[in-house]
A = this chain, B = another copy of it.
Amino acid sequence: MAEAVIINDVGPRDGLQNQPRILAVAQRLALIRSLRDAGMQHIQVAAFVSPKAVPAMAGAAEIMAGLPADDAAYSVLVPNMKGYELALAAGARQVEMVVYGSDGMAQANVRMNRFEADAVAAAILDRAAADGLAVTITMSVAFECPFEGRVTPDRAMQSAARFLGAGAQEFIVADTIGAATPDRVRALAEALLAEHAAGQLGCHFHDTRALGLANVYAALDAGIRRFDASIGGLGGCPFAPGASGNVATEDVVMLLEQMGHATGINLAALMRASRLAATLTGNAPGGRARAWLDRQYPQPAETPHEI
C-alpha cells in the first residue's frame, strides 16, 4: 500500500459559493453529513463573508452549530479580521485564508494588491496562533492569472516560506483558473517539497482544461499528499474569467485508490454524496469519470438523507 493521501472536500464552500441555486443551511449540512458518511475527514464547510456579497454562504454560524460533533477537520474561509472574529465566535477550529499570486486577482477578489492581502492574512495568522486555531493559507492563481498571465513559481515559494514560517499549518497552491500543466505542477511541487514537509503542503486544481487529474498525478508523484477537491466537481470562480469547476472528489479518490493510496473514503458512499450534490444544486451529475463510476456504483433506490 502506498502512502495515505488527504482529500479536503471544498464542495460545501468553494463548490456551492457560485451556484445559481442558493442552498439552505439544512441542505448544506445534509451535504456535509453525506461527505462524513463517506469517511471524509477534511471538509471546508463555510465562509464567514458578507451574506450580501455572497448570499450562498449566508448562515455560516448556523452551519458551524449544525456540524456533527466529531473530530473531523471542518475548515472555514475567512476573508478578513471581521470574518475571523465571527468564525472564532462560532467555534471554528481551522480557518483558511486566501493570498494571491497576482495583483490583478487580488484586486478583482478583495480590492487590494497582493501585498495588502498578504498583510491581512499575516495579521489573522497572528491572532489565530494566539487563539490556538489552525490556519490554512491558500495561494490563489499560483500558476496563472486570468488578468496577468503566467505566475512565476517564486510567488508561491516566497509566500509558503513566509506563512509556514509564521506558523500556518498548511500552504496550498491553487490553480484557480485551471491553466496549470502537469510539468509546471511537478516543478513547483518539487521546489516546495525541497523547503517544506509534505504535511505542510497541498494542491488545489480546477478542471477547466480537463487536466485536473493529470495535475493531481504530477503533484502526487512529486510527493504532495494533500489535495483539495469538490464533490461532483462543483465550483468555479465568478471573479476569474474562464474558471470552471474544481477537480471532482470522486475522480481524485478513484485515481488514488487505484494507485494504492489509502484515502479512508468509501467510493460507493461518496457517489451518494455526489448524487445528493447534483440533486440539491440542480446540476447535472459532475466529475470526469462519471459514466464509469456510475456503472461501478449504481444509484440506489433511496436517497441517503431527508433534505
Give A contacts to B, CB under 8 Å: 178, 181-183, 186, 208-211, 213-214, 216-218, 221, 242, 244, 251, 254-255, 258-260, 287-289, 291-292, 295
Contacts and interface: CB of A to CB of B under 8 A. Distances in A.
Number of copies: 2
5 contacts: A178-B292, A182-B217, A183-B259, A209-B289, A214-B216
Q: Which 7 A-B pairs have the closest CB atoms?
A: A210-B288, A210-B289, A214-B214, A214-B217, A182-B217, A213-B214, A181-B258
A58 to B, nearest CB: 30
Given A211-B213, A214-B214, A242-B295, A182 B259 contact: yes
Contacts of A213: 210-211, 213-214
Interface residue SS majority, chain A: helix
Contacts of A181: 255, 258-259
A187 to B, nearest CB: 11
Contacts of A183: 217, 221, 259-260
Nearest to A179: B258
Nearest to A260: B183
Contacts of A289: 209-211
A254 B295 CA distance: 29
A244 B290 CA distance: 12
A292 B209 contact: yes
A87 to B, nearest CB: 35
